[in-house]
């Protein structure tokens, strides 16, 4: 029996080595099969999509800022309250604005009266210029009369001067004729001066008329510049009055309300924010090595941590950020020293959501999302 024991042990050792070889071959075959299946999945299934859980809901918030200053007298909404576009949010005391409207209305009425006065002045100056023209004619008639008188006295003087040597005309009569001639010459010169003065008066009157008419030429009561300016001031005053009532610029939910009744608010001061929950989108931060085949217009499927995987959202890629998150950080990374570790960067990809699905399952800005983009969709 002692001779058989070694043979049996050797036989058992040979069997064990055979099993081990088969086991190794089986294990190697399994690894090859698993590797092949992984290759097939990565090549034909995994390469069809890219996904990330680094995605968040975002939206274009509407900041409500009044365009006029004053004391808040009524606030009709509060945080978390849904509002519709045009809905009244709050009112500002409008006493000052009403006074400004009244002043603008009075100023417009005054400008209209002044324009009417200018038109009347133009007519009066035109009449004065016409009267000046008539004075020229009168002065010319006086000049003609003085010319005739001068001619007659000259002839009388010449006739008497010719007879003075014969004794037919006395010295006294000749002296009287000479005085009459001198008087006629003076009257003639005075008449000439009167004509010149009348002409100058007429020119001055015409210039005054032209200067006055230039202010209203080509205008009417509706188109005069001063009236248009007064109307603009009135429209501005009315607009400021309307702006004391602040309405929602878009549909959404009120957030970050910062005003209270009695508070004095300045023009441009932020009063609250309206979040357009029906027009939200998702910024998905994909790794840079995932974006080689991503294009605008590709379809995307998204789920939210808020609802879980039971609710799916559908959207499409609408654009890419102009830089990575690190590039726009407060202190961008500087890797020029040569002492650095490469970190895979992420680029925000904007995905537009379906408004109908948003209406059925509303989201809020900042919620986490998971996004998957279909790379086979190239429409």
Domain check: are 123 and 168 in the same one? yes
Residue position matching structure tokens 């604005």: 97
- Other beta carbons within 10 angstroms of residue 319's beta carbon come to 12
pLDDT confidence of residue 1? 43
Give pLDDT tens digits for 227-265: 999 999 999 999 999 999 999 999 999 999 999 999 999
Q: Evaluate whether residue 125 is within a structural domain.
A: yes
Question: Which residues contact residue 56 at a Cβ distance below 8 angstroms, ignoring those fewer than 6 apart?
Answer: 282, 283, 366, 367, 368, 369
Domain check: are 106 and 175 in the same one? yes
State the pairing for strand pair 49-58/281-287: antiparallel
Domain check: are 81 and 170 in the same one? no
Residue position matching structure tokens 């959501």: 353
What CATH number does residue 90 fall under?
A: 2.40.50.100
Three-state DSSP at 222 gives coil
What residue spans of 217-311 are helical by DSSP H? 225-242
The span from the CA of 192 to the CA of 225, in Å, is: 45
> Can you list the pairs that 128-134 forms with residues at least 24 positions away whose Cβ atoms lie under 8 Å?
128/205, 128/208, 128/209, 129/202, 129/205, 129/206, 129/208, 129/209, 131/205, 132/198, 132/201, 132/202, 132/204, 132/205, 132/206, 133/202
Residue position matching structure tokens 């008449």: 191
Q: Evaluate whether residue 151 is within a structural domain.
A: yes
For range 349-353, the mean pLDDT: 94
Whether the per-residue pLDDT at 92 is higher than 90: the answer is: yes
Instruction: From 21, 268, 335, select the one nearest 29 (Cα to Cα).
Output: 21
Q: Evaluate whether residue 107 is within a structural domain.
A: yes
Residue position matching structure tokens 């009315």: 238
Domain check: are 133 and 258 in the same one? no
- The more confidently predicted of residues 261 and 172 is 261
Backbone phi and psi for residue 363, each to the nearest 5 degrees, phi listed first: -120, 175
The span from the CA of 254 to the CA of 63, in Å, is: 10
Structure-block tokens of residue 163:
């007879």
Domain check: are 191 and 226 in the same one? yes
Domain check: are 83 and 209 in the same one? no
Q: Evaluate whether residue 180 is within a structural domain.
A: yes
Q: Evaluate whether residue 89 is within a structural domain.
A: yes
CB 139 within 8 A of CB 195: yes
Q: Which of 228, 254, 270 is the last residue of a domain?
A: 270
Domain check: are 208 and 257 in the same one? no
DSSP state of 367: -
Domain check: are 75 and 123 in the same one? no
Using alpha carbons, list the distances in angstroms from residue 305 to 118, 312, 313: 76, 11, 12
Residue range(s) defining the domain that contains residue 117: 97-238
Dmax over Cα atoms in the chain, in whole Å? 214
Domain check: are 79 and 161 in the same one? no
pLDDT confidence of residue 176? 83
- Other beta carbons within 10 angstroms of residue 12's beta carbon come to 9
For range 28-50, the mean pLDDT: 69
Q: Which of 238, 258, 282 is the last residue of a domain?
A: 238
| Domain count of the fold of the chain | 2
Cα first-last separation, the chain: 84
Instruction: From 367, 240, 379, select the one nearest 300 (Cα to Cα).
Output: 379
Q: Evaluate whether residue 299 is within a structural domain.
A: no
Q: Which of 221, 250, 270 is the last residue of a domain?
A: 270
Give pLDDT tens digits for 262-302: 999 999 999 999 999 888 999 999 998 888 889 999 999 99
Q: Evaluate whether residue 353 is within a structural domain.
A: no
Q: Where are the beta strands (DSSP E) in the chain?
A: 49-58, 62-64, 70-75, 82-83, 88-92, 245-247, 252-255, 264-265, 272-275, 281-287, 299-304, 308-320, 346-353, 368-374
Structure-block tokens of residue 11:
């036989």
Average predicted confidence (pLDDT) for the chain? 84
Whether the per-residue pLDDT at 184 is higher than 90: the answer is: no
Three-state DSSP at 182 gives helix
Q: Evaluate whether residue 338 is within a structural domain.
A: no
Domain check: are 209 and 231 in the same one? yes
Domain check: are 132 and 258 in the same one? no
Give pLDDT tens digits for 60-83: 899 999 999 999 999 999 999 999
Using alpha carbons, list the distances in angstroms from residue 361 to 111, 209, 312, 318, 364: 60, 77, 10, 21, 10
pLDDT confidence of residue 115? 87
> Per-residue confidence at 11, pLDDT binned at 50, 70, 90?
very low
Domain check: are 78 and 186 in the same one? no
What CATH number does residue 145 fall under?
A: 1.10.287.620
């Amino acid at each position: 029996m002692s001779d058989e024991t070694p043979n049996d042990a050797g036989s058992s050792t040979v069997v064990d080595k055979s099993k081990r070889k088969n086991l190794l071959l089986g294990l190697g075959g399994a690894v090859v099969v698993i590797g092949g299946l992984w290759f097939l999945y990565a090549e034909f299934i995994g390469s069809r999509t890219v996904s990330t859980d680094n995605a968040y809901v975002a939206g274009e918030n509407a900041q409500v800022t009044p365009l006029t200053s004053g004391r808040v007298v009524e606030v009709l909404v509060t945080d978390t309250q849904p509002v519709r576009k045009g809905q009244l949010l709050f009112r500002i005391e409008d006493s000052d604005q009403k006074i400004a409207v009244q002043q603008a209305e009075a100023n417009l009425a005054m400008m209209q009266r002044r324009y009417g006065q200018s038109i009347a002045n133009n007519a009066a100056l035109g009449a004065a210029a016409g009267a000046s023209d008539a004075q020229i004619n009168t002065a010319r008639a006086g000049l003609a009369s003085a010319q005739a008188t001068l001619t007659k006295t000259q002839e009388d003087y010449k006739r008497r001067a010719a007879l003075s040597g014969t004794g037919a005309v006395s010295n006294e009569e000749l002296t009287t004729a000479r005085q009459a001639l001198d008087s006629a010459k003076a009257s003639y010169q005075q008449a000439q001066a009167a004509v010149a003065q009348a002409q100058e008066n007429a020119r001055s009157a015409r210039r005054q008329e032209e200067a006055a008419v230039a202010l209203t030429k080509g205008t009417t009561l509706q188109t005069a510049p001063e009236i248009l300016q007064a109307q603009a001031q009135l429209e501005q005053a009315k607009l400021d009055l309307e702006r004391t009532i602040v309405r929602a610029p878009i549909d959404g939910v009120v957030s970050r309300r910062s005003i209270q009744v009695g508070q004095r608010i300045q023009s441009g001061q932020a009063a609250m924010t309206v979040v357009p929950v029906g027009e939200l989108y998702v910024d998905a931060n994909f790794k840079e090595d995932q974006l080689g085949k991503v294009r605008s217009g590709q379809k995307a499927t998204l789920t939210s941590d808020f609802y879980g995987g039971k609710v799916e959202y559908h959207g499409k890629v609408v654009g890419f950020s102009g830089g990575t998150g690190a590039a726009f950080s407060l202190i961008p990374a500087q890797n020029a020293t040569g002492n650095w570790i490469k970190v895979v960067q992420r680029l925000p990809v904007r995905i537009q959501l379906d408004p109908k699905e948003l209406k059925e399952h509303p989201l809020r800005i900042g919620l986490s999302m998971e996004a998957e983009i279909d790379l086979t969709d190239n429409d």
